[in-house]
Amino acid sequence: MWLLDKMLRKVIHRGELVVTDHDGKVYRYGAPDPELKPVHARLTDKGAAFHISKDPRVGAGEAYMDGRLVIEPPADIRDLVLLIRLNAPAESQDDIRPRGPIRRAIGYAVGKVDQINWKTRSRRNAEHTYNLTRRLYELFLDEDRQYTMAYYRDTSNSLEKAQLDKKAHIASKLYLKPGMKVLDIGCGWGGLAMYLHRHYDVDVLGVALAPDQIEFCKERAAEAGVADRVKFELMDYRDVTGQFDRITSVGLIEHLGTPHYPGFFAHTRRLLKDDGVMFSHCCGRMGEPGVTDKWTRKYIFPGGYIPALSELVTEAEKHHMIVTDVEAMRYHYAHTLEEWYRRTVEHREEITALYDERFYRMWEFYLVGAEAAFRYGGMVNWQIQYVKRRDAIPMTRDYMYEEAERLRASEEPPEWHLSRAAE
């Protein structure tokens, strides 16, 4: 316990953390804060403290998943993770990562190797993440199954409203015209593709690598009677041919890995018409390039990597793609993840029945760890617009604001969602 005790004494200054070791000995950290809920954590076996302290980001998650780290009510794992991250925000340039240069170098090298996603591995990684039971996603996402950041124009908005506003925000940057051909790379469960067709009468091809996602997309397109205009294929984007007026990728870049950035920009440039527009929405790093933490790579997004802005812009420049707009979305994902966590906890019994208690705790830890990273850590969302020709879009951004306002006024979330949010 001495190593974990040393680490926590260095980190926790604001807020109160009480840790009870397996032998009943109590350790106290920080100081009471009226704005923060006190957290009491309990370690259930002799080796739990060392397992956490030797590699905090992996060890804490695994200890919680395995029941070796227990949070006593009324606090929960979210309170613990946010308390720790609040005390070590990205702006302070302090962190609880191992400081040894050799250990950092090994971690960096392993992280880079893990980003090598040839086609078979990309498909396997996608299935690991997105081929979970459909019911799981229904329990914590909005009805449209938007599994990326919502856009909170008002933090009191429902998740459904914020996700609808996100789609309007994205669409406004595409400068779409009726009859255009759109490629949606990493189309998820088809919500954006359906939205773009509904509002612009465009033809959309959505591609992704998770079979159940594509099956669901085809089902909803057929149900809406638009399967001839909104098509979905189980396909690697590297196998797409033809040319498109617009290309979108929302939550796709994070799955590529930096070794594949050159190929991504080269291929999408070939697919984009000369007067076309490409748009990308992805999680991003505020600072310099790094590696994805080991716990997330192991349990949630194998092969994944969250890029720094410099990595994306540099590669775009090499492939003669003009960056015409960049927006940093700072707190929106934190609010999204907070709501996903609330809905997950609300459906604990059903999720546990679908999988087991360990999976449920893993999902909890994933959501709260991600929220902490976007609320206090170094994570943001990037929205980037690219063109091949500078005259492909208007001179000013006014068209974005005007179009987003028009779209927001044209559609509201289903009434039952609004009533549910008010409960």
Same domain, yes or no: 84 and 152: no
* pLDDT tens digits for range 59-96: 999 999 999 999 999 999 999 999 999 998 876 544 44
pLDDT tens digit sequence for 213-272: 999 999 999 999 999 999 999 999 999 999 999 999 999 999 998 999 999 999 999 999
Mean pLDDT of the chain: 90
Both structure tokens of 88: 């070590």
Q: Give yes or no: residues 136 and 55 share one domain.
A: no
Q: What is the spatial distance between Cα 89 and Cα 95, in angstroms, rounded to a whole number?
A: 8
Mark whether 152 and 265 lie in a shared domain: yes
Do 46 and 125 lie in a common domain?
no
Q: What is the mean pLDDT of residues 33-37?
A: 92
Residue 214, pLDDT score? 96
Task: Tell me, yes or no, whether 62 and 195 share the same domain.
Answer: no
Q: Are residues 86 and 127 in the same domain?
A: no
Task: Say yes or no to pLDDT of 342 above 70.
Answer: yes
- In a domain, residue 111? The reply is no
Q: Which residue has the tokens 């709501």?
A: 339
SS3 115: coil
Q: What is the mean pLDDT of residues 283-303?
A: 89
- Higher pLDDT among residues 57 and 199, named by residue: 199
pLDDT at residue 163 greater than cutoff 90 = yes
Residue 104 in any domain: the answer is no
User: Does 307 share its domain with 160?
Assistant: yes
- 160 shares a domain with 54: no
- 185/235 Cα distance (integer angstroms): 9
Chain CA centroid to CA 186, Å? 13
Per residue in 200-213, pLDDT tens? 999 999 999 999 99
User: What is the per-residue pLDDT for 114?
Assistant: 53
Give the chain's domain count.
2
Instruction: List the strands of the sheet with 69-71, edge to edge.
Output: 26-31, 15-20, 39-43, 69-71
What DSSP line would sit under 346-391, residue for residue?
A: HTHHHHHHHS-HHHHHHHHHHHHHHHHHHHTSSEEEEEEEEESSGG
Closest CA to 183 of 262, 238, 143, 220: 238
Cα distance between residue 248 and residue 381, in whole Å: 15
Joined tokens for residue 339: 């709501």
Give a yes or no: residue 245 inside a domain.
yes
Q: Tell whether 181 and 255 lie within a shared domain.
A: yes
Q: Is residue 102, in this structure, part of any structural domain at all?
A: no
Q: Is residue 76 part of a domain?
A: yes
Domain end marker among 57, 92, 127? 92
Question: Taking the complete model, does pTM exceed 0.85, yes or no?
Answer: yes
70: domain CATH number is: 3.30.1050
Query: Residue 98: is its pLDDT beyond 80?
Result: no
Task: Report the CATH number that the domain containing residue 147 is assigned in CATH.
Answer: 3.40.50.150
The residue among 308, 294, 214, 193 whose CA lies nearest residue 261 is 308
Q: What is the CA radius of gyration of the chain?
A: 22
**pLDDT tens string 124-154:** 554 444 557 889 999 999 999 999 999 999 9
pLDDT at 92 (0 to 100): 57
Which contacts qualify for 69-74: CB closer than 8 Å, 24 or more apart?
Answer: 69/41, 69/42, 69/43, 69/44, 70/41, 70/42, 70/43, 70/44, 71/39, 71/40, 71/41, 71/42, 72/40, 72/41, 72/42, 74/37
pLDDT at 262: 96
Q: Domain of 269? A: 119-422
The helix (run of H) or strand (run of E) holding residue 191 is helix 191-200
Using alpha carbons, select from 240, 215, 55, 228 the residue that is nearest to residue 134.
215
324 & 367 share domain: yes
Residue 390 lies in a domain: yes
| 112 part of a folded domain | no
Domain end (from 39, 74, 92): 92
Residue 99: inside a domain: no
357: Cα separation from own chain's centroid: 23
Q: How would residue 314 be classed by pLDDT, with cut points 50, 70 and 90?
A: very high
Residues 224 and 371 in one domain: yes
Domain co-membership, 80 together with 198: no
The pLDDT value recorded for residue 416 is: 43
Whether the per-residue pLDDT at 4 is higher than 50: the answer is: yes
Percent of the chain with pLDDT over 90: 81
Report yes or no: 292 and 306 within 8 Å, Cβ to Cβ. yes
